[in-house]
Structures are given as structure tokens and as C-alpha cells.
């Protein structure tokens, strides 16, 4: 199974970690899972988040595989190899941070780092049955992270427990102070279209969480999803379009980049208007209920054999991508459906409320564990 693309042993004797191969580690090339970058020069400096890992006494054990150029949702990579899904064999690991999620699910490390531009931490977390957090946009430094410029992308951690996820945040953001969960808190449950078993699984988990639940509409979700696609297309084209003439990109990525090149200035301008409107909509909902809840994925993860067409699988991000557009922190908590397949419970909090988000997720996971013991 191709989880690790570069082995190493850096740092101290603390928590063990692997990082996605879009994050610079000095002395190692950042190849982003692409043959077009096979001969890239070694990074001269650590990314700032890697410096934080080393300052926190972490042991960095390797760089992880990913969907090529972090521009896909399945995690399938025919050049560097596709990470197996350790807990759900045969299912896609999810993308783009596939190897980081799989490394945690396989128990190779205490936590791993990925990046999330349109769901790329939360989607693989849900597929692989682990916890994954997209922090508030800009909270974790992206210096030394590919692509160099993004209005959507966030570095975020994966872990097998909320305790370890919180420990990871304390390392990569020294200003992160863990909170106790407020004794009374309401959750706004966002109605969405999803597989009936997924909705049933979420409803049951939220009912057992002990929190007050209130239906909370976000009518701008679909427009925000489409706007997020326009922005990622333009920004990925700006960052990676120069690789297209090499002929070395995978067919799925080459096709997506060709299409991304057609993103018009008008579409981008409209997307920015949607960004502003949907951000206000989410903020207003969070003013009523400090946490919002909805599925991470609208359906169960595909079998690897069914997921060859990346563009056909792009709808996997319909419920996660809108919150990249707004920049709110978002977390995927692992559940299991009645069919034994993985389900993600996605929780959203106000900007800068990452610690509250983690505290609520910790409380929910503890209560679900206690009730199933």
C-alpha cells in the first residue's frame, strides 16, 4: 500500500507524525504525487508548519501520498500509487490527502498533516474512518505549502482520536488552547440531500450527543459549492497550468486542468459575490447555534474500481467545499452506517472558534463511545 512516498527520521521523541507531500521539508523534494515534478529540486527550507512540528518535539517519519497535485477527491494516483484504505479495504481512501488519512487509520503515526482546499482533509478522514480538521482559514501558516497562493487551502491534522487531534493542534498552533465543552449548547442541523442510511446514522448520533438540536437552513450551499469550484479551478490553473505541456500529468488531472483554464474572470467575480453572501449566511446561522452539523459525504465512499473518473466523483465534495469558500473551521468525526461502511459527521464553528469545535467533537465522541461500550 502506497501510504508513504518518502521515509525519514527528523525531530525529537514526542508525537510521531507524517506530512502530505505538498508541504516542504528541507532536503527533500516536494513532488505532490506528480510525475511532472519527479525531478524537482529538494526544498531549501522547512515549511513553517514543519518548523512548528520540530519545535514541538515531534518525530517526523515521512511524507505521504496524495491525489496528484492535490486536485482530486478519490486519492487514486497511478504514478506514485494509491494508498489502501486500512479500515475499509477496497474503498477509495479519499482525496486529496489520502496517504495522511491512511497513515493514521493504519496506526503508523500519532497524527498526520494534510491540506484542505475543497474537502481534502475531511473527505479522506470520512473515507478512512478517522478524525480530520480543516482549521479556520489562515490560522495555520501555509508558508512552504503548495500551492503558494490560495484563498481556500488550509493545513490541518488527522488523528484516530479527538484527544490526539487536539494535541496535534496544540503543536502546529502554539496559540491553540483546549477548551472544556460548554454544559449547554445548541447544534444547528443543516438539512441536506444524502444517502438515507447516512442521514439515519447522523440523526441517531446527534440524538445521542445530548445537545439541543435545531433544524437550520443554509439555502446558499449549492451556489457556494459551485463558486468554490470556480475559485479552486482558477487558483490551481494559476499554480499548476505550466505543468500541462510536459505531457507527464495523469489523464484525470490533465483533463481537469484543461477545463480549469476556461474559468472566466466573470465566473470568478460571481464566485466572490457568492463567497461574501454565503459567509454572511453561515455567520448568521452560527449566531443562533454555535455549531452546525451535516454529513461530510453525501454518499458512501466508492469502490476503487468505480472511481476511475475523477470528474465524475467531484460531487463527493458537495457538502464540504462550501466551507472552504467561507473559511470557517470544519471537522469530520467518524461514524459507521448500518451497512458497516464509513460515515462522516461534519461539524462547523465560527471563525477562530477551532477550540470550541474540537471541544464539542470530543464530547460527542466520548458520549457515543460510552453509550456503545
Reported as a single tens digit per residue, the pLDDT across 246-268 is: 999 999 999 999 999 999 999 99
Confidence of residue 306 (pLDDT cuts 50, 70, 90): confident
Element (H, E) at 170: helix 162-172
Reported as a single tens digit per residue, the pLDDT across 199-251 is: 999 999 999 999 999 999 999 999 999 999 999 999 999 999 999 999 999 99
Lowest mean pLDDT among 24-38, 57-71, 311-325: 311-325
3-state DSSP assignment of residue 109: coil
For 4-372, CATH number out of 3.90.1150.10, 3.90.1300.10, 3.40.50.970, 3.40.640.10 equals: 3.90.1300.10
Reported as a single tens digit per residue, the pLDDT across 102-153 is: 999 999 999 999 999 999 999 999 999 999 999 999 999 999 999 999 999 9
Confidence of residue 311 (pLDDT cuts 50, 70, 90): low
* Per-residue pLDDT at 307: 86
Pick the closest to residue 47 from 96, 10, 77 (CA basis): 10
Q: What whole-number distance in Å separates Cα of residue 227 and Cα of residue 217?
A: 19
Cβ contact 347:293 at 8 Å? yes
Confidence of residue 183 (pLDDT cuts 50, 70, 90): confident
Q: Is the pLDDT of residue 312 over 70?
A: no
Cβ contact 206:187 at 8 Å? yes
Q: How many CA atoms lie within 13 A of 208 on its CB side?
A: 16
* Per-residue pLDDT at 237: 98
Cβ contact 343:94 at 8 Å? no
Domain spans in the chain, listed from the N-terminal domain onward? 4-372
Q: Is the pLDDT of residue 85 over 70?
A: yes
Amino acid at each position: 500500500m502506497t501510504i508513504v512516498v518518502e521515509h525519514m527520521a527528523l525531530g525529537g521523541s514526542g508525537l510521531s507524525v507524517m506530512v502530505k507531500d505538498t508541504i516542504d521539508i528541507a532536503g527533500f523534494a516536494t513532488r505532490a504525487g506528480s510525475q511532472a515534478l519527479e525531478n524537482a529540486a529538494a526544498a531549501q527550507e522547512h515549511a513553517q508548519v514543519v518548523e512548528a512540528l520540530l519545535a514541538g518535539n515531534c518525530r517526523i517519519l515521512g511524507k505521504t501520498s496524495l491525489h496528484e497535485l492535490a486536485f482530486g477527491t478519490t486519492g487514486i494516483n497511478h504514478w506514485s500509487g494509491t494508498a489502501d484504505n486500512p479500515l475499509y479495504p477496497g474503498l477509495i481512501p479519499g482525496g486529496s490527502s489520502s496517504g495522511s488519512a491512511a497513515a493514521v487509520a493504519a496506526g503508523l503515526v500519532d497524527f498526520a498533516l494534510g491540506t484542505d482546499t475543497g474537502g481534502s482533509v475531511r473527505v479522506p478522514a470520512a473515507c478512512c474512518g478517522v478524525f480530520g480538521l480543516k482549521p479556520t482559514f489562515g490560522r495555520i501558516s501555509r508558508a512552504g505549502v503548495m500551492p503558494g497562493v490560495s484563498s481556500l487551502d488550509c493545513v490541518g491534522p488527522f488523528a484516530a482520536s479527538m484527544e490526539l487531534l487536539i494535541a496535534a493542534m496544540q503543536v502546529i498552533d502554539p496559540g491553540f488552547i483546549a477548551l472544556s465543552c460548554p454544559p449547554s449548547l445548541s447544534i444547528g442541523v443543516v438539512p441536506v440531500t444524502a444517502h438515507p442510511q447516512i442521514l439515519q446514522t447522523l440523526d441517531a448520533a446527534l440524538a445521542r450527543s445530548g445537545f439541543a438540536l435545531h433544524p437550520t437552513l443554509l439555502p446558499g450551499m449549492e451556489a457556494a459549492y459551485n463558486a468554490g469550484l470556480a475559485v479552486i479551478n482558477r487558483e490551481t490553473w494559476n499554480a499548476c497550468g505550466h505543468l500541462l505541456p510536459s505531457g507527464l500529468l495523469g489523464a484525470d488531472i490533465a483533463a481537469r486542468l484543461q477545463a480549469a483554464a476556461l474559468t472566466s474572470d466573470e465566473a470568478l467575480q460571481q464566485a466572490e459575490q457568492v463567497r461574501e453572501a454565503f459567509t454572511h449566511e453561515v455567520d448568521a446561522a452560527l449566531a443562533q447555534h454555535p455549531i452546525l452539523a451535516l454529513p461530510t459525504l453525501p454518499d458512501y465512499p466508492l469502490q476503487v474500481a468505480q472511481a476511475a473518473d475523477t470528474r465524475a466523483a467531484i460531487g463527493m465534495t458537495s457538502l464540504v467545499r462550501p466551507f472552504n469558500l467561507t473559511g470557517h473551521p470544519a471537522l469530520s468525526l467518524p461514524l459507521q452506517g448500518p451497512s458497516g461502511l464509513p460515515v462522516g459527521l461534519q461539524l462547523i464553528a465560527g471563525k477562530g472558534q477551532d477550540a470550541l469545535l474540537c471541544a464539542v467533537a470530543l464530547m460527542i465522541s466520548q458520549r457515543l463511545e460510552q453509550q456503545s461500550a
